Amino acid sequence: MSSRGSLLLVDNDRLVLTTLAHGLTLAGYTVFTAESADEAEETIIHMETPPTLAIIDVRMPIRSGLELAVWLNSSAHVPFMFLTAYNDDEIIETARVHGALGYLVKPIDTPQLLPSIEAAVARANDLRSLQTTGEQLKSALENQRDINVAVGITMVQHKLSRQEAFELLRKTARNQRRKLGILADEVIKASEVLLNLKKNIKPD
Q: Residue 153 maps to which CATH number?
A: 1.10.10.10
pLDDT band at 114 (very low <50, low <70, confident <90, very high): confident
Task: Based on the fold, state whether residues 146 and 73 are members of the same structural domain.
Answer: no
16-34 in b/e burial notation, b at 16+ Cβ within 10 A?
Answer: bbebbbebbeebebbbbbb
pLDDT per residue over 117-158, tens digit each? 888 888 777 776 666 565 666 666 677 788 888 888 888 888
pLDDT for 54 equals 92
Single pTM value for the model: 0.58
pLDDT for 42 equals 92
Q: Which domain holds residue 90?
A: 6-108
Task: Based on the fold, state whether residues 95 and 53 are members of the same structural domain.
Answer: yes
Q: Which of 108, 127, 162 lies at the terminal end of a domain, its last residue? A: 108
Q: Which residues face 33 on adjacent strands?
A: 9
The CA distance from 187 to 166, in Å, is 12
Q: What is the mean pLDDT of residues 88-104?
A: 72
pLDDT for 195 equals 72
pLDDT for 141 equals 64
The answer to whether the bond into 79 is cis (omega within 30° of 0) is: no
Number of domains in the chain: 2
Task: Based on the fold, state whether residues 104 and 15 are members of the same structural domain.
Answer: yes
CATH number of domain containing 13? 3.40.50.2300
- Nearest residue to 116 (alpha-carbon basis) of 27, 50, 39, 16: 27
pLDDT band at 109 (very low <50, low <70, confident <90, very high): confident
Residue 47 is assigned to a structural domain of this protein: yes
Task: Based on the fold, state whether residues 10 and 104 are members of the same structural domain.
Answer: yes
The CA distance from 80 to 36, in Å, is 15
